Amino acid sequence: MAAPHAQLAASQFSESQREARRRGLPSLEGRTIVITGAARGVGRVLAESCAQAGARLVLADLLENEGRETAEALSKAGADVRFAPIDLADPASIQRFAADVAGREGIVHGLVNNAAIATGIGGPAFDEIDLETWDRVMQVNVRGSWLATRALAPMLKASGSGRIVNLASDTALWGAPRLLAYVASKGAIIAMTRSLARELGLAGVGVTAVAPGILRNEATDYVPEERHRMYESLRAVPGPQTPEDIAPTVVFLLTHGALALTGQVLPVNAGFVFT
């Protein structure tokens, strides 16, 4: 992580700012960003990148211990950040979270709907998925993202430049097999992005989605090596991808200048899928 902000001459940048510029991160100075599923994995990397770009952060996750540890680590590195618990499967929890943000931050400039449940790649065929698994994935990935967006929408509108970035998946673009519940949920996220862009655009709120492929991180350790190799050999830019590779795109989509992209789905997968 970057060093805490230091007092420097006007022509210089802090270590954090230099790192942000090195990674191609645009500025999020003065913007309050909420990230769900931010305790670990992709969410934590997105939080780190937004912090380097200068955002004030509210990290949300069901994993309270890990979420507080992430917030503490970012705070020690100089970020303006706090953690608040949320359970996307529980509408009451989402409402409590939104009320807490309304009371403390007042307005929100960006929401990253990152939290999701993934079912195993190379898992059950479509006719072997149990109803409980299907319903749980839809409850968290689809309904939870909708309810989080609905609860925070008044604060996004109030900011005057609200941005929502939904984490979809390129599995919904190319139709990954033996992963139907997850693929269907991410397809729903793509469709929601387009519909919400038209509704919230009336208030100047931009809504976009990014659709990564498989990223090398702890959350994909369960993925069979064959599927990793398929992605890494068939990308236009071959090789592994990590959450750090998609973070600059997400950060940009949270800026003022990203409004022209509202409604778009960006497959941030180094050319595995083209649209």
Strand 163-167 relative to strand 80-85: parallel, antiparallel, unpaired? unpaired
Q: How far apart are CA 19 and CA 17, in angstroms?
A: 5
Q: What's the rounded Cα separation, in Å, for the pair 6 and 74?
A: 15
Residue 144 is which amino acid? G
One of 182, 231, 252, 272 is an active-site residue; which one? 182
Going across the sheet that includes 265-266, the strands are 80-85, 56-61, 32-36, 110-113, 163-167, 206-210, 265-266
Q: Which two tokens stand for residue 85?
A: 């618990």
- Given phi > 0 = left and psi -120 to 50 = alpha, else beta, which region is 61? beta
222 is catalytic: no
User: Residues with catalytic annotation?
Assistant: 182
